Structure 1
């Protein structure tokens, strides 16, 4: 019997959902430590991924034909080996749209209303009505401001929708300049620096590829509107951290909300921890209590097509683009 291996815990309802989508398949639900080499080698479909299964899954004699990742990003997978074996790869892109867009809005509001400073004073039991960081902006509004979203996919679309509800102007940047309903103007990546020069708030949601690695560098910050705020919920290595800190220290950037970093976890002695104009979250912007439910919805939609001999319709990764 054909086999599906899932490396994550599922409810009985989710198990039933998968079995209904592909009735001719055996479903094995085990964590990576419980799986035998034989179970991995015999799996035609793997839901999730782990470094511990790489060698067994990618043997020349293994039966692997399709991997559905548990994550939206695929840059940590052995993409060349998967491609060379002819394995279909689909991501969980879209699963993060609601929680990450809400995290972005939350960070913007924290800076505009200086909530991060109020919390710092609260911990010291200090009553201070002046919440401003010395030399930087004080209480303001996001209404009427311009938001630049770099990497307009599922997350960017939802972020744009929310931003418009707050009365913001929205500029998008992505590979294609095709319009989006809640984006006032769309640039291609060639227009990145022009777009950055207009943003009061800038959000990076780019995947990590050869082209995007450290794309937010000194040249990008020099093109950015002075006093802008920057948020990174994409991939840490798309940002040159030293150049970012220089922009923060000089006041070129008023603040930064960072969920991802070049090195994770962020070292305890890293200077970013002590910068008052920085909000740090530990790579949790996409975490939520409906994550598994949404991944399974994506997987079962793909599985129904795959079981009928078709390619999975959602989030099929282009190995050339790395997403």
Structure 2
């Protein structure tokens, strides 16, 4: 028989989605007090309005609720500090579900030691964001191949060029994806639909249907010589830090389109700028950066071959619904004593 569990909603969420969580099992108690949660500024705004402040009484009530639960939907206050506090204060805590696909960085930033991290599980929303991220990556590829940056510059200057410059065909071109997880595989699916040949990297090298060649990170340069486009989906870890360095960019063929929807720390931004300036990279579509927000003095802001996106490529109006569906599935598994998927690796933090 399922033991009674309490689930606390720690971040903004629509009431109808909370009802879906309640419907998973009659044995669970779901604690949800929307007046304690900041209002959303846009769909799936998990941090909520930054101007929101709880009264002293509300703050005490918020933490009392969270400390009475075995399961949390979201990090408290959607912050590493909130995770650190609840992990230290709540001896009942068994599982926290993160809103982000790449929650490892936030877990690391919490500063929690292994002695505490081993006491409860942390799952991510990996896979929920795969489709919007893959669509964004496809946009980046198309922008690079179809010269959208040059077209925008000409339009802004009201220039109708005398010579009509041809664009590149996506069909028949070669794509390399670093990180063939759920995001990478969804990107590959869309790329194949566009007629691209897809290869990529995976930590565990094994054949994958629809992928021409799979190598580990050490084998990446061997794939780049024939790549027309490269999409990075890798998380930020010690293993991936500045993977895209001068040597890797030099291994690319001139004019390669580069898209980053993984983490900014995977790219040496100085090396990327050099590659853009020397033509090794023809166009870069970047949703993530080593430092966020991107500093005002970064040359990436004004580079004519760069699209800057403020880490929004994963966002969609359906995000809360999709995360809730994932959480409900996980909750059923948790209540049945099964193994939770998409656990944060608390050693490598991904």
- After TM superposition, is the score higher than 0.5? yes
8 A Cα contact 2:145 2:257, kept in partner: no
Q: Distance in 2 between matches of 1:205 and 1:214?
A: 13
Alignment counterpart, residue 258 of structure 2, candidates 202, 227, 230: 230
Query: SS at the partner of 1:264?
Result: coil
8 A Cα contact 2:67 2:89, kept in partner: no
Query: SS at the partner of 2:254?
Result: coil
Counting only pairs closer than 5 Å after superposition, residues 224-263 of structure 1 correspond to structure 2 as: 224-263=252-291
Residue of structure 2 in register with 1:25 after alignment:
28
8 A Cα contact 1:14 1:296, kept in partner: yes
Alignment counterpart, residue 332 of structure 2, candidates 288, 301, 304: 304
**CA-CA distance at 1:189 after TM superposition:** 2.1
1:55 and 1:74, CA in 2 relative to 1: closer, same or farther beyond 3 A? closer
**CA-CA distance at 1:197 after TM superposition:** 2.4
How many corresponding residue pairs? 317
8 A Cα contact 2:237 2:348, kept in partner: yes
Structure 1 unaligned regions, length at least 5? 133-137
Q: Distance in 2 between matches of 1:89 and 1:157?
A: 23
1:277 and 1:59, CA in 2 relative to 1: closer, same or farther beyond 3 A? same
Residue of structure 2 in register with 1:48 after alignment:
74
8 A Cα contact 2:104 2:345, kept in partner: no
8 A Cα contact 1:157 1:180, kept in partner: no
The reply on whether 1:38 has 2:64 as its aligned counterpart is yes
**CA-CA distance at 1:83 after TM superposition:** 4.4
1:58 and 1:129, CA in 2 relative to 1: closer, same or farther beyond 3 A? farther
The reply on whether 1:212 has 2:240 as its aligned counterpart is yes
Q: Deviations over 1:145-204 (max 9, x none)?
A: 100000011111111111111111111111022222221111122211212222110011
Residue of structure 2 in register with 1:9 after alignment:
12
1:121 and 1:193, CA in 2 relative to 1: closer, same or farther beyond 3 A? same
Structure 2 unaligned regions, length at least 5? 39-53
8 A Cα contact 1:131 1:139, kept in partner: no
After TM superposition, the score normalised by the length of structure 1 is 0.91
The reply on whether 1:147 has 2:147 as its aligned counterpart is no
8 A Cα contact 2:107 2:349, kept in partner: no
Q: 4+ residue runs of structure 1 moved beyond 4 angstroms?
A: 32-35, 129-132
8 A Cα contact 2:73 2:98, kept in partner: yes
**CA-CA distance at 1:60 after TM superposition:** 5.3
Q: Deviations over 1:97-124 (max 9, x none)?
A: 1111111111111121112222232233
8 A Cα contact 1:41 1:59, kept in partner: no
Query: SS at the partner of 2:177?
Result: strand
Q: Distance in 1 between matches of 2:190 and 2:90?
A: 49
Counting only pairs closer than 5 Å after superposition, residues 245-284 of structure 1 correspond to structure 2 as: 245-284=273-312
